[in-house]
């Protein structure tokens, strides 16, 4: 299954929340790559309790990957595996921890993102890959966005949300394959009707919208988005699925 990347225009519409919600309901092994150039929030947000308890490490991730591959002609998935951590709390989820802030991400540079794009693309042959790319801008991980098979603009279906998403779609123009771009309004509590109107206004296919107001619209809509995204994808071998939470130290590195 191709790499699936998530971006936004502005105003924090819920990219990180959406990616985390999707990962938590994803039915098979999935790698979450935190590539927000402004600084990753997955570890500090969703996974903070496990970080605090020592189950996850901050020093193993995107930065350690780009540092260790800086002299590599080509980055393979084997180069990436040692920099990915298993999330015991969500046994099907593996995490590439993001950078601390914008200064750290600018040290990666275009070549660093390009190596990551290569490795993620290779990894996606046997593991689903969801990438949080943060808000679109000059510092965006453009090689990763260009390599993604699906690029979902996350937006709230409001006037403000549509305006922000439109700016993102414009920024993507001519830099990515337009056929892979879609709208995701997953992390909202708004009704499907307004999501459809937002998609029409943006002239984008609507990948998923909440099915209506329920007691947990985020999780319900994440399930529906996961089903839609997986619907036409072939089942692949799952070499990364591993058992529960045995051991007490962080498990670094994906099994080969
Ligand atoms: N479905 C939801 N229901 C309620 N609150 C939500 C929902 N989705 C996101 N939020 C809240 O909106 C805020 C922004 O969410 P999040 O960090 O996921 O956005 P983002 O688009 O990743 O932002 P940034 O661009 O800063 O990375 C957070 O406080 C989050 O708790
Ligand atoms: Mg975010």
Q: How far is the CA of 157 from the centre of ligand 1 (A)?
A: 14
Count of structural domains within the chain: 1
**What secondary structure letter does DSSP report for 245?**
-
Determine the pLDDT at residue 244: 37
Q: Tell me, yes or no, whether 244 lies in a domain.
A: no
- Domain CATH code at residue 176: 3.40.50.300
Report whether 186 contacts 221 (CB < 8 A).
Answer: yes
96-132 pLDDT per residue, tens: 999 999 999 999 999 999 999 999 999 999 999 999 9
Percent of all residues in the chain with a pLDDT value above 90, rounded to a whole number: 54
Q: Which ligand is nearest to the Cα of residue 218, counting in written order?
A: 1
Mutate to test the pocket of ligand 1, among 20, 187, 225 (most ligand atoms within 8 A of CB): 187
Domain annotation covers residue 238: no
Greatest distance between any 2 Cα atoms in the chain: 51
Residue ranges making up the domain that contains 49: 4-230
Any atom of ligand 1 within 6 Å of the Cβ of 56? no
Let me know if residue 240 belongs to a domain: no
Instruction: Tell whether 73 is covered by a domain.
Output: yes
Q: Is 230 in the pocket of ligand 1 (CB under 6 A)?
A: no
Bridge partners of residue 206, in order along the sequence: 183
Does a structural domain hold residue 41? yes
> How far is it, in rounded angstroms, from Cα 157 to Cα 161?
6
Total-model pTM: 0.86
Return the ligand number nearest the Cα of 153.
Answer: 1
For residues 159 and 176, what is the distance between their CA atoms, to the nearest angstrom? Answer: 25
DSSP code per residue over 74-85:
S--HHHHGGG-E
Does 30 map to a domain? yes
Q: Whose CA is nearest to atom 9 of ligand 1?
A: 14
Residue 194 lies in a domain: yes
Lowest-pLDDT range, 76-80, 134-138, 150-154, 205-209?
205-209
Indicate whether 242 belongs to any domain. no
Please count the other Cβ atoms lying within 10 Å of the Cβ belonging to residue 2: 17
């Amino acid at each position: 299954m191709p790499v699936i990347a998530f971006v936004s225009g502005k105003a924090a519409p819920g990219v990180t929340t959406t990616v985390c919600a999707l990962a938590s309901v994803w039915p098979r092994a999935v790698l979450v790559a935190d590539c927000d150039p402004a600084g990753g929030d997955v570890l500090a947000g969703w996974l903070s309790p496990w970080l605090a308890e020592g189950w996850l490490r901050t020093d193993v991730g995107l930065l350690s990957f780009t540092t260790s591959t800086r002299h590599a002609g080509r980055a393979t998935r084997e180069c990436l595996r040692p920099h990915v951590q298993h999330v015991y709390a969500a046994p099907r989820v593996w995490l590439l921890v993001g950078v601390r802030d914008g200064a750290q991400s600018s040290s990666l540079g275009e070549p660093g993102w390009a190596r990551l794009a290569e490795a993620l693309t290779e990894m996606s042959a046997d593991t689903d890959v969801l990438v949080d790319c943060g808000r679109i801008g000059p510092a965006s991980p453009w090689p990763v966005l260009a390599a993604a098979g699906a690029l979902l603009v996350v937006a709230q279906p409001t006037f403000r949300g549509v305006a922000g998403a439109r700016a993102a779609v414009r920024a993507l123009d001519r830099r990515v394959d337009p056929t892979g771009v879609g709208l995701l309004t997953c992390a909202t509590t708004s009704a499907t009707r307004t999501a459809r109107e937002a998609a029409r206004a943006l002239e984008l296919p609507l990948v998923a919208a909440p099915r209506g107001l329920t007691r947990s619209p985020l999780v319900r809509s994440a399930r529906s988005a996961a089903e839609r995204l997986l619907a036409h994808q072939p089942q692949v071998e799952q070499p990364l699925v591993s058992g529960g939470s045995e051991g007490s130290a962080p498990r670094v590195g994906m099994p080969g």
